[in-house]
């Protein structure tokens, strides 16, 4: 085996090797310049109600008003009051006339009318008198039958007629203070007044008479004299 030869000359540069693996992440670079302004965004929701502001300064005083006129109010009130009374009276009269037209009976001499308002004997007496009549006074059988039929057809059981014994117990007189003549139509056993309190007379739907207390409030029959032509 011979001796080791001398080191040879450096060879030529070899071919380029394959690309090596990816290196580690580099350090963060410096911040760049600010970019251009972006587009305007959408309008946001409406905010809450703000606090109440401070009170403003007082305005200038107004001008003095004109003097009012003096009112004679007492007189006007009296006039209005009287008007109200008159209207109320008219309404009552109109109502009365309407009712009269609706249901009235008559004989050759008189009209008869049932007032469908509950009143005691004295109030009924005044009511008929104020309208130019009296409480009905049946002085014969025919008139009595006419009033009885009227009471019955009106669907009533009883109604005041113009008769009483207020002056002298047991002695009945008509509303015009004339005594009962030769006609009467008392219910059997009537007039029957043990306590002396039944001083007024009602007619039953049968046509019979019954003495009753004057303070009871029931319907009643008025009569009116026909005007002579």
Q: According to the model, what pLDDT value does residue 118 have? A: 96
Same domain, 95 and 122: no
- Domain membership of residue 50 (yes or no) is no
What number is the average pLDDT over the span 118-124?
97
For 126-138, how does the pLDDT look when each residue is reduced to its tens digit (9 = 90+)? 999 999 999 999 9
Same domain, 128 and 81: no
What number is the average pLDDT over the span 1-8?
82
Residue 173 CB-density burial (10 A; 0-12 exposed, 13-18 middle, 19+ buried): middle
Same domain, 87 and 176: no
The model carries a pTM of 0.57
Same domain, 77 and 177: no
Same domain, 149 and 77: no
Q: What is the CATH number of the domain that holds 160?
A: 3.10.100.10
Is-contact 172 201, C-beta < 8 A? yes
Range of the domain at 147: 105-225
- Domain membership of residue 21 (yes or no) is no
- Domain membership of residue 2 (yes or no) is no
DSSP string, 99-162: HHHHS-EE-SSEEEEEEEEEE-HHHHHHHHHHTT-EE----SHHHHHHHHHHHHHTT-SEEEEE
Same domain, 184 and 199: yes
Same domain, 138 and 176: yes
What number is the average pLDDT over the span 194-210?
92
**Number of domains comprising the chain:** 2
The structure tokens 């006419």 sit at: 146
Per-residue confidence band for 94, with pLDDT thresholds at 50, 70 and 90:
low
What number is the average pLDDT over the span 31-35?
88
- What average pLDDT does the structure give for the chain? 88
């Amino acid at each position: 085996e011979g001796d080791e030869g001398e080191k040879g000359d450096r060879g030529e540069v070899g071919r380029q090797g394959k690309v090596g693996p990816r290196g580690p992440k580099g350090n963060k670079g410096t911040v760049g310049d600010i970019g251009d302004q972006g587009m305007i965004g959408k309008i946001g929701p409406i905010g809450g109600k703000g606090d109440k502001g401070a009170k403003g300064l007082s305005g200038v005083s107004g001008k003095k008003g004109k003097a009012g006129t003096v009112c004679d109010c007492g007189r006007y009130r009296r006039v209005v009051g009287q008007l109200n009374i008159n209207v109320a009276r008219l309404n009552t009269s109109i109502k009365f006339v309407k009712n009269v037209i609706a249901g009235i009976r008559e004989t050759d001499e008189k009209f008869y009318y049932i007032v469908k308002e509950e009143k005691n004997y004295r109030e009924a007496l005044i009511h008929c008198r104020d309208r130019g009549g009296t409480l009905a006074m049946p002085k014969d059988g025919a008139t009595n039958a006419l009033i009885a039929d009227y009471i019955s057809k009106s669907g009533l059981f009883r109604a005041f007629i113009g008769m009483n014994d207020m002056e002298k117990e047991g002695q009945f007189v008509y509303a015009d203070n004339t005594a009962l003549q030769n006609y009467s139509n008392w219910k059997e056993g009537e007039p029957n007044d043990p306590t002396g309190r039944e001083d007024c007379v009602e007619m039953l739907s049968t046509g019979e008479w019954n003495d009753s207390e004057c303070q009871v409030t029931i319907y009643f029959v008025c009569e009116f004299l026909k005007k002579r032509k």
